[in-house]
Amino acid sequence: MKIVVLDAYALNPGDLSWEALEALGECAIYDRTAPGQVLERAKDADIILTNKVAITRPLMEALTRLRYIGVLATGYNVIDTTAAAERGIVVTNIPAYSTPSVVQMVFAHILAATNRVEHYTGECRTGVWSRNPDFTYWDTSLFELWGKTLGIVGLGHIGMAVARVALAFGMNVIALTSKKKEDLPEGIVPVDKGTLFKQSDILTLHCPLTPATTHFVNAATLSLMKPTAMIINTGRGPLVDEAALATALNEGRISAAGVDVLSSEPPAETNPMLAARNCTVTPHIAWATFEARKRLMDIAVGNVEGFLNGKVQNKVN
């Protein structure tokens, strides 16, 4: 059984072990694979594991031994799942492995915006506080979460976990969700899209990227928001019209934003979010804690083992 891992580095830059996978078959593990290298590297593969390397219909037609594709992530849009199903190729993903880590990043961005920790650390390091006549110093508005309204788009594993933390902070929680009101925990109020944008002090995105949700945050929806509101995106970059959000930030029509994802990754240096006013940007690391990557590795190996034993799990096609 030949197993090929096409882009191993993001999951395991050296602090995890591939031994459990290597016990399941002959393994070829590549840190990174360019599109033009896939066919040569995977030509004898029965099993492919990939994160961002696309496996298209033409590739599947050429990879005649291929029987299984394991996506090393939750999203599986890099795979032509229809073509895979037609050829009897099983496709699996890794659901819910990073929920605690992503929730942590959501609130890291929220607290960075509300408490302005980076700004005030800079003020202290440059002597501003030392020269201040009072024991305390601030030159921005400071923002308490208690009693504020958090709007959540999507109440899957992550969205629901974010809601629980928000409630612990004493926030009001509203959500755009397909779930019925009677199926929601106490404290979460379902609302329509317009109400979500109008009432949210903080809006955080946790929905899948689809044609309907592409540019969910755009010039029109931003115009509905309070000028004191902020946007958090740890979901998918294209959920946000970045030019529209950057303009709203720079013009003071939105107070702040925190994003861990951008529409193109790595981004062009000219991406407007990188220089936007009151915008914190992290380089797609919400998922990447050691603990989350260890869970991902364990589930990925379990998926392969299940396939080999005829007990397929986490199948998406």
Task: Kindly indicate the confidence band of residue 154, based on its pLDDT and cuts at 50, 70 and 90.
Answer: very high
> pLDDT by residue (tens digit) across 36-59?
999 999 999 999 999 999 999 999
Who's near 154: CB < 8 A, 6+ residues apart? 175, 176, 177, 205, 206, 207, 208, 235
**Structural domain contains residue 205:** yes
Q: What is the pLDDT of residue 169?
A: 98
Report d(CA 151, CA 208) in Å as an integer.
16
Whole-number average pLDDT of the chain: 97
* CATH code for position 162: 3.40.50.720
Domain boundaries, position 258: 99-281
The answer to the question of residue 316 being in a domain is no
Based on the fold, state whether residues 75 and 195 are members of the same structural domain: no
Distance CA 202, CA 219 (A): 17
Residue 313, domain member (yes or no): no
Q: Burial of 131 by CB count in 10 Å (0-12 exposed, 13-18 middle, 19+ buried)?
A: exposed
221 shares a domain with 92: no
Known catalytic residues? 236, 265, 284
Residues 257-294: pLDDT tens digits? 999 999 999 999 999 999 999 999 999 999 999 999 99
295 and 273 share a domain? no
Are residues 277 and 163 located together in one domain of the fold?
yes
pLDDT at 285: 98
pLDDT average, residue stretch 170-193 = 95
Residue 11 confidence (pLDDT): 98
Instruction: Give which of 29, 31, 37, 39 is closest to 2, Cα–Cα.
Output: 29
Q: How many domains does the chain have?
A: 2
Tell me the pLDDT band of 299, cut-offs 50, 70 and 90.
Answer: very high
Residues with Cβ within 8 Å of residue 134, at least 6 apart in sequence: none
Residue 273 DSSP class:
G
266 shares a domain with 133 = yes
Same domain, 104 and 224: yes
Verify that 57 and 136 share a domain, yes or no. no
More confident residue, 75 or 233: 233
pTM (predicted TM-score): 0.92
Helix (H) or strand (E) holding 97: none
Domain check: are 80 and 178 in the same one? no
- Residue of 6, 2, 9 whose CA lies nearest to 53: 6
